[in-house]
Structure 1
């Protein structure tokens, strides 16, 4: 009887050991798969950010993008055509002016602390956007975020301002008492049909993770 019990105990130990090894191998395999998926997602994301594809009057255009230096308080990264020259970089503001084909384009990210609730910040943004330039009346149009899921994921509110002297696309994010506004200004009258390009630049911004 004693030998039989000893045999049963040894058999059980071997089975448990084998199960444990199988479980460890499965866990390791799952971890490797997950790590590979993260790597692939990061590589795909980087590839997506390397180019911008948009349409102008029905014509498809594609531009290679670069990621200029920006303070982490404003964004983790922004992606712009190489024709954009950085003009201002500090903890609270980033500006890049377009040259060549993108002359009179201005891309900016601005950050302010002590933000109020979202409703109030939207009111302030709309009021500021409605400032009239000379005898030109400003027309402000809210962008329907339901039609732009990537923008909806990143921002709380997006508008287009027709200023008379050009168009401006502005995106608002309010988080933990901070307000971040990303904007693309188009002052070149021949490029006012580059609205999709402006929205694509807004989509490419990687905002800071919530604190």
Structure 2
């Protein structure tokens, strides 16, 4: 019997030698063999997805100076995607539903963009704080608003991913807890509803990994 709904996200392994976050590194074992083993449909599909994401990120980044800069974003996309998918399987720790991991992904990226932009494109970064054509009387207020909106970007990225991953898991947990009190007929409808919500969760896992990486590319394109 769980203490509350959110206890389903708590670590469940030995506290001295925690193995919860090992699920986040399983992609290191799964993905690399595809590049040296005999080609298969799985490897061809994955290469097609990565090629498509590379082309899309290349257009969004709008930078021809740093060749191959989209590789970090395709790697980020695949890392979040696999972690989101792993969290949908039973008895696997959902690392992407924790702020500690999501902030670890978003904060260094945003901080590196800011450091690079302010040191190399200072004039552009200052001009970005003032929208074009804004009235002079509103300039101090607009600079303050743009500064605050810029500072909350890493937190917004982390909270968006965390909230979306937690919401689906909590909904499935609520539906599952109501099962013992239902009749056989209603239990069949409950199973059908849970299967539909599980399919929706797979779609959310893909969409959120895409949104996270696309926003990271857009933030990098501004500097």
Fold shared by both chains (TM-score > 0.5)? no
Structure of greater Rg: 1
| Structure possessing the higher relative contact order (Cα contacts under 8 Å, 6 or more residues apart) | 2
Structure number with higher strand proportion = 1
Higher helix share: 2
Report the TM-score, using the length of structure 2 for normalisation: 0.21
